[in-house]
Amino acid sequence: MGYHMPPSLHTLTPAAAKVHALTEILLHSEVHGELRSAAQDLYQLMCGFVGTDGHAPTTDEHANTNLPGGQAISPWGAGLCVLDYLRTTMFLRGVNTALAKAAERFPDETLEVLYAGCGLFATLVTSLAGRFNPEKVRFTLLDIHSVSLEGAKKVFLQLGLDPSLRECVIVDAAAYVPAKQPHVIIVETMQRALDKEPQVAVTANLGAHLRAGGIFIPERITVDAYLEYDSRKTPGLMAVQPLAEDQLLPAPHRVSLGQLIDLTAKNAPTWRANPGNTQPTGPVLVPPLSVNLPADSIEALRIALITEVTVLDSLKLSDNESGITLPAFRRFKPNAGKVKIEFRYRTGNTPGFDYHWIKARP
Ligand SMILES: C[S@@+](CC[C@H](N)C(=O)[O-])C[C@H]1O[C@@H](n2cnc3c(N)ncnc32)[C@H](O)[C@@H]1O
């Protein structure tokens, strides 16, 4: 038997049939309303499998955990991510494609799939695992929250997917060393502009353990910096008219300052490599970016950090398309005497981008 298990070849329970039908919509529909309601229905189903109240979390379900590489959001918060429907859609499509591609690349092997930060429902694999032959694809679930792993395990059991489950590991993904190099690694531990959550630290660690030829999901995350201006105003000219009461503010005009990060499974481990040591260990040091500001920067309103997530190939989440690609802003205090700034990624338990002024040469 091959990697795929068409549903007609085995009997789906009513619960598994419902998940299968919703997953079909998420994988194939191009209609936003259908995708949104499929994600909502999937969330309700998952809550039922786990036995949690989607509206009123228990204390354990509500607890975030601060880790050395950033904050791991609570089991409840992780479950809610399903409702960010375009995020769920693109990641599901990416994981589905990654599994098919990995099956082609490694035809004689059982695929090892590591899902780091799986959350309460392990949605990105529990929705898909039934489509793959358990002898050919095995899933390892990892999360720092035992409540999340217990929930995800319940979903596997409820859907009759336990033969596909390799193991569940409670550990910090930024420090975990898998016993066998995975063929596919899935990590969604991020917020917009790579703020707060440990996606960078986790990618820097796990990227180094991906099997040669393996696939890391997401394939790439970029954050670009822009200066934002009031688009009603021509820089250097005159003041703008006040807005009428019912008038919407037009979209701001943006001027690019450059790319702050290009996060991939290949790049990130090199940011951890200590000189003279080929093993990626130690703190993550993302290369900083220094930029000269445009002459009219004194007129700028603020800095906008714009995130793009390439889940795999052409499957992307761009500016404003999902919670994880909303713009993030930094206060920009124009300083007439200073023309150059440097952006740095602050690593540690509250990660995120900062900038500081660099003195212009006299
Ligand atoms: C944003 S939620 C995403 C949940 C799920 N992956 C999804 O896409 O629906 C992030 C999850 O990763 C877990 N997590 C974050 N950082 C982690 C770390 N360093 N080690 C282990 N788990 C982590 C959190 O506990 C949370 O369950």
Q: CA-CA distance, 166 to 182, in Å (whole number)?
A: 12
Looking at residue 111, its amino acid is L
Return the minimum-mean-pLDDT range out of 119-123, 243-247, 271-275, 337-341.
Answer: 243-247
**Two structure tokens written together for 217:** 């999901």
Give ligand 1 pocket residues (Cβ under 6 A).
67, 69, 72-73, 78, 81-82, 117-119, 123-124, 142-145, 148, 172-174, 188-189, 198, 202
Would you place residue 130 in the very low, low, confident or very high pLDDT band (cuts 50, 70, 90)?
A: very high
Mean predicted confidence (pLDDT) in 93-122: 97
User: What is the whole-number distance in angstroms between the Cα of residue 84 and the centre of ligand 1?
Assistant: 15
Closest residue by Cα to residue 152 from 117, 173, 122 = 122
Would you place residue 234 in the very low, low, confident or very high pLDDT band (cuts 50, 70, 90)?
A: low
Report domain extents, the chain.
7-220, 221-237+249-358
Ligand 1 atom closest to the CA of 117, numbered from 1: 12
Q: Does the pLDDT value for residue 306 go beyond 60?
A: yes
Q: What would the pLDDT profile of 313-356 be if each residue is shown by its tens digit?
A: 999 999 999 999 999 999 998 777 778 999 999 999 999 999 99
Q: CA-CA distance, 31 to 202, in Å (whole number)?
A: 33
Residues in CB range of 332: below 8 A, 6 or more apart: 227, 297, 300, 301, 302, 303
The residue whose CA has the least distance to atom 23 of ligand 1 is 117
Question: What predicted TM-score, i.e. pTM, was given to this entire model?
Answer: 0.93
User: What is the whole-number distance in angstroms between the Cα of residue 142 and the centre of ligand 1?
Assistant: 8
The residue whose CA has the least distance to atom 3 of ligand 1 is 78
CATH superfamily label, 7-220: Vaccinia Virus protein VP39 (3.40.50.150)
Three-state DSSP state, 64: coil
The percentage of the chain sitting over the pLDDT mark of 70, rounded to a whole number, equals 92
Mutate to test the pocket of ligand 1, among 141, 187, 189, 203 (most ligand atoms within 8 A of CB): 189
Would you place residue 220 in the very low, low, confident or very high pLDDT band (cuts 50, 70, 90)?
A: very high
What local confidence, expressed as pLDDT, does residue 3 receive?
81
Mutate to test the pocket of ligand 1, among 84, 89, 123, 144 (most ligand atoms within 8 A of CB): 144
Q: Which residue has the tokens 């906008």?
A: 304
The residue whose CA has the least distance to atom 27 of ligand 1 is 119
Q: CA-CA distance, 149 to 163, in Å (whole number)?
A: 16
Q: Where do runs of H (alpha helix) occur along the chain?
A: 14-28, 32-50, 75-80, 85-105, 123-126, 146-158, 199-206, 267-270
Q: Which residue has the tokens 């740095």?
A: 344
Closest residue by Cα to residue 4 from 95, 156, 136, 184 = 136
Q: Does the pLDDT value for residue 196 go beyond 70?
A: yes
The residue whose CA has the least distance to atom 1 of ligand 1 is 189
User: What is the whole-number distance in angstroms between the Cα of residue 145 and the centre of ligand 1?
Assistant: 9
